[in-house]
Structure 1
Amino acid sequence: MTVGDKAAIGCMVGGCDKCDDCTKGLESYCRDTILTYNYIYHDGTRTYGGYSDWIVAEEHCGEVPGYIAHGLWCATSMCWITVYSPLKYYGLNEPGKHLGVVGLGGLGHLAVKFAKAFGVKVTVISTSPQGEGSH
């Protein structure tokens, strides 16, 4: 990241930076994940989350893709990252791939939007005879 890039901090600000998960960019699986609120950062300072006047985080923890509006990312970052991260991790961000989405609720519709933006073919699976969200 460079000065002026969009950034948003979620529920964690880093990991141990040494384990296999951290070296693969999977800090959320690290046994020593540093959460945003009430944890001790590498430099010994306490994290105060949304109550902070300033915050230190590993730069990749706060990256916001350039094509997402900053206000939208901030308002929905936990929802977006829940589907964005696994799509990227499992290579479902490449045109021509096919994705099945179970349910078209809060997260399902975001998965469809991301997948379509990536050029992925999407099939939505629902068990509701009326369709999701119609009740």
Structure 2
Amino acid sequence: MSERFVVRFPAGVPLDRGAPLLCAGVTVYSPLRRHGLGAPGKHVGVAGLGVLGHVAVKFARALGARVKVVNSSPAKRREALERLGADAFDVQDF
């Protein structure tokens, strides 16, 4: 096994709070970085505000990108904009 796949949890971080970052986190973080999208001045679109969408918004914003969420439910607008920090929100039927 390669040590590059090992992640040390910081002291005090409960495993149940950090575990989602190991699955959903790598699923969105890796392509953001690989394609150069998680950077200041870049624009990222997030389709759907499920588990991956939540993490994608948080990571993209933390990396400096502007984020637009597109979701089929207008009820997710407030969560996307106010709670997660998305820059824009649009409702579309998928």
Deviation at 1:93, TM superposition (A): 2.0
1:95 corresponds to which letter in structure 2?
A: P
Which residue of structure 1 aligns with residue 46 of structure 2?
Answer: 101
Report runs of 4+ in structure 1 exceeding 2 Å deviation: 69-73, 129-132
Q: Deviations over 1:11-70 (max 9, x none)?
A: xxxxxxxxxxxxxxxxxxxxxxxxxxxxxxxxxxxxxxxxxxxxxx21222246x8xx57
The SS at the match of 1:79 is: helix
Residues 1:127 and 1:120: Cα distance change in structure 2 (over 3 Å): same
1:117 aligns with 2:62: yes
Q: RMSD of aligned C-alpha atoms?
A: 2.6
Which residue of structure 1 aligns with residue 89 of structure 2?
Answer: none
TM-score, reference length from structure 2: 0.65
The SS at the match of 2:41 is: coil
For residues 76 and 49 of structure 2, what CA distance do their matches in structure 1 show?
A: 8
2:68 corresponds to which letter in structure 1?
A: T
The SS at the match of 2:49 is: coil
For residues 70 and 61 of structure 1, what CA distance do their matches in structure 2 show?
A: 20
Q: Which has the higher helix share?
A: 2
1:78 to 23, 26, 33: 23
Identity %: 45
Query: How many aligned positions are there?
Result: 74
1:129 aligns with 2:69: no
Q: Deviations over 1:71-105 (max 9, x none)?
A: 443x2111111111111111112111000001111
List runs of 5+ in structure 1 lacking aligned partners: 1-56
Residues 1:84 and 1:70: Cα distance change in structure 2 (over 3 Å): farther
List runs of 5+ in structure 2 lacking aligned partners: 80-94
The SS at the match of 1:92 is: coil
For residues 59 and 14 of structure 2, what CA distance do their matches in structure 1 show?
A: 16
Residues 1:131 and 1:62: Cα distance change in structure 2 (over 3 Å): same
Residues 1:99 and 1:70: Cα distance change in structure 2 (over 3 Å): farther
For residues 51 and 38 of structure 2, what CA distance do their matches in structure 1 show?
A: 20
| Greater relative contact order (Cα < 8 A, sep 6+) | 2
